Amino acid sequence: MSAVKIEFFHDVICSFCFPMSYRMRQLKAVMPEVEVIHRSFALVKEPSDFDRMFGSRENAKNEILSHWFYANQNDDLHRFNIDGMKQAVFPFPSSMNTLIAAKAAYFISGDDLYWDLFDALQESLFMHNKNVEDIEVIEATVQTIGIDLTSWRQHFADEKTREAVLADLKLAEDYQITSIPTLIVDGKHTISGAQPLTAIQSVLNEISLQKKLSAVETEASCKFRDGKFECD
């Protein structure tokens, strides 16, 4: 398959992004030529957004846990600890601290380290029921995957890291993305939702075939240029 670039839009607090990230890793294993670029999407940019969406931050938890139930069914490994989250006493986390945290890892060592921290933060929330909005929880998670904490703190505090997250959010608007997980393939093809691995592969194979056919047409084609037909 020809090289394909996938922009993976997601949020740490997005339940369906958890099984989708696992599948994207499977995809990379079977299609190593695929380039995965991680993009931020904030479901809850500010804590006050809980009031607008759910009436209150307290009300949010019950509805969000219903999403966890269906996400756990979607998850190939069924990893969600829903009962544990019901017993947790902290308010449901908002998005920005974790998105900036993952982007800080990107500035240390690119998309691979971003992905490692993103997955570790999702595991902290969905499996271990940690408050991933809390900086101490984030820093503990950072250390579990071997990131130098001093370097990470510098990038986390750097305004350019937040600006990079905001640039991702603007890009999502430009792509007219309204839900996640979403994959943007080669800047123009959209795959929405936590799709099965086979479905993602099928779409990518079709896109690759279209690119090959387009290349053949370009190499053997006739164009009307400057009043004359020119054939390659």
pLDDT digit string (tens) for the chain, length 232 residues: 678 999 999 999 999 999 999 999 999 999 999 999 999 999 999 999 999 999 999 999 999 999 999 999 999 999 999 999 999 999 999 999 999 999 999 999 999 999 999 999 999 999 999 999 999 999 999 999 999 999 999 999 999 999 999 999 999 999 999 999 999 999 999 999 999 999 999 999 999 888 776 654 444 444 444 544 343 5
For residue 100, what are the CA distances in angstroms to 89, 96, 118, 156?
24, 6, 10, 6
Contact (CB, 8 A) for 117 and 100? no
Number of domains in the chain: 1
For residue 108, what are the CA distances in angstroms to 3, 34, 82?
25, 22, 33
Backbone angles phi, psi at 168, to 5 degrees: -65, -40
Alpha-carbon span 136 to 130, nearest angstrom: 10
B/e letters for 167-198, b = 16+ CB within 10 Å, e = fewer, are ebbebbeebebeebbbbbbbeeeebeebbeee
Q: Checking DSSP bridges between strand 189-192 and strand 222-225, what pairing results, if any?
A: unpaired
Cis link prior to 181 (omega < 30° from 0)?
yes
Q: Domain residues for 113?
A: 4-231
Find the CATH number of the domain harbouring 128. 3.40.30.10
Indicate the residue type of 157. A
Q: Tokens 């846990």 belong to which residue? A: 65
Environment class of 83 (CB within 10 Å of its CB; exposed 0-12, middle 13-18, buried 19+)? exposed
pTM over 0.85: yes
